[in-house]
């Protein structure tokens, strides 16, 4: 294919909007930048709509295409677009772009997928993490990374939460958001009703002085089917979620510290769930 040399090219416009935006809307394509995330997307079974290659990344592109040929979806040669380094930098979402970006068609996950899990943990006892109005995409991505690491079956983001498929969230998730079953933008009342019907216990995380229904980490039983709600960075969880929760789940901390970062709190709770369930974890340096 001839080199794309115009900033007004329709594909460059799509990549620019996707890589510099706040996430995919509806069935819009997921924008992924960098060879590692592109490989993660391919290995997770996503179908590529386009691969954008800068002049200086031709060798890396050949490696990607070889890797894609070993996957079920692959990448058609007709989907490969080439442009100059300067124009690639003008559409990239990172300060030091690596010359490769791709658009993938999103996977349509359902509520049952979130409870059932996928891959190695498919069929495990449901362990869902719910991100309730978490606004920082970095926190969203970090929580999803921890969710996959500690054996969560899936995740749900409620309305008002940063898009888990936004470029910043995808980078923070290190590929987890492309593999883990994730439902985006659910209304809280609908989610609570579905969890009740599925007989999943609802835990609402909060401060250590949340009252008589508080379960500290050492007391909470996270071996049963559970959904753990993590609230907004500043306001925490809504009164609606707290009223509906079967129990409040608290992480004891020093009195001098007001609260933990949302991603840190979620990671601690997910690790405790993995410990209780005796999930096999790999020790890494």
Q: What is the pLDDT of residue 21?
A: 75
Check residue 143 and give its pLDDT.
97
Query: Which residues of the chain form beta strands (DSSP E)?
Result: 30-33, 47-54, 80-83, 100-105, 127-131, 154-158, 182-186, 201-206, 214-216, 226-230, 247-250
Q: What is the pLDDT of residue 212?
A: 40
Query: Partners of 50 in the beta sheet?
Result: 103
Residue 22 is predicted with a pLDDT of: 66
pLDDT of the chain, 285 residues: tens digit per residue: 578 989 999 999 999 988 887 666 767 889 999 999 999 998 888 888 999 999 999 889 888 898 888 887 778 888 899 999 999 999 888 888 889 999 999 888 999 999 999 888 888 899 999 999 999 999 999 999 999 999 999 999 999 999 999 999 999 999 899 999 999 999 999 999 999 999 999 999 876 544 444 555 657 888 999 999 998 878 888 989 999 999 888 887 777 777 788 999 999 999 999 999 887 666 554
Q: Supply the pTM of this predicted model.
A: 0.87
DSSP assignment, residue 73? S
Burial degree of 18 (CB within 10 A; 0-12, 13-18, 19+): buried
Specify the pLDDT at position 278.
Answer: 84
Give the chain's largest Cα–Cα span: 68
Domains of the chain (ranges, CATH numbers): 10-105 (3.30.1330.30), 111-276 (3.40.1280.10)
Q: What angle do CA 214, 220, 225 make, to 5 degrees?
A: 115
Q: How much is the pLDDT for 69? A: 85
- From the list 198, 122, 175, 131, the residue with the least C-alpha distance to 153 is 122
């Amino acid at each position: 294919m001839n080199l794309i040399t115009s900033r007004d090219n329709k594909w460059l416009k799509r990549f620019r909007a996707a890589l510099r935006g706040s996430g995919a809307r509806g069935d819009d394509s997921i924008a992924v930048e960098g060879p590692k995330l592109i490989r993660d997307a391919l290995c997770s079974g996503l179908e590529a709509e386009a691969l954008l290659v800068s002049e200086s990344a031709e060798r890396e592109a050949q490696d990607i295409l070889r890797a894609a040929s070993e996957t079920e979806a692959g990448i058609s040669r007709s989907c490969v677009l080439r442009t100059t380094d300067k124009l690639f930098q003008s559409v990239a979402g990172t300060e030091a772009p690596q010359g490769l970006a791709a658009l993938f068609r999103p996977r349509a996950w359902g509520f049952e997928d979130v409870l059932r899990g996928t891959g190695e943990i498919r069929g495990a006892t449901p362990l869902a993490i719910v991100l309730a109005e978490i606004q920082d995409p970095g926190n969203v991505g970090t929580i999803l990374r921890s969710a996959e690491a500690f054996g969560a079956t899936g995740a749900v983001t409620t309305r008002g939460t940063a898009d888990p498929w936004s470029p910043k969230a995808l980078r923070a998730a290190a590929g987890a958001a492309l593999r883990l079953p994730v439902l985006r933008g659910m209304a809280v009342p609908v989610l609570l009703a579905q969890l009740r019907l599925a007989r999943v216990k609802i835990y609402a995380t909060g401060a250590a002085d949340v009252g008589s229904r508080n379960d500290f980490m050492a007391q909470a039983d996270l071996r049963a089917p559970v959904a753990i709600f993590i609230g907004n960075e500043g306001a925490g969880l809504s009164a609606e979620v707290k009223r509906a929760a079967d129990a409040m789940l608290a992480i004891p901390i020093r009195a001098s510290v007001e609260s933990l970062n949302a991603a840190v709190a979620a990671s601690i709770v997910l690790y405790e769930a993995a410990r209780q369930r005796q999930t096999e974890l790999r020790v890494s340096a």
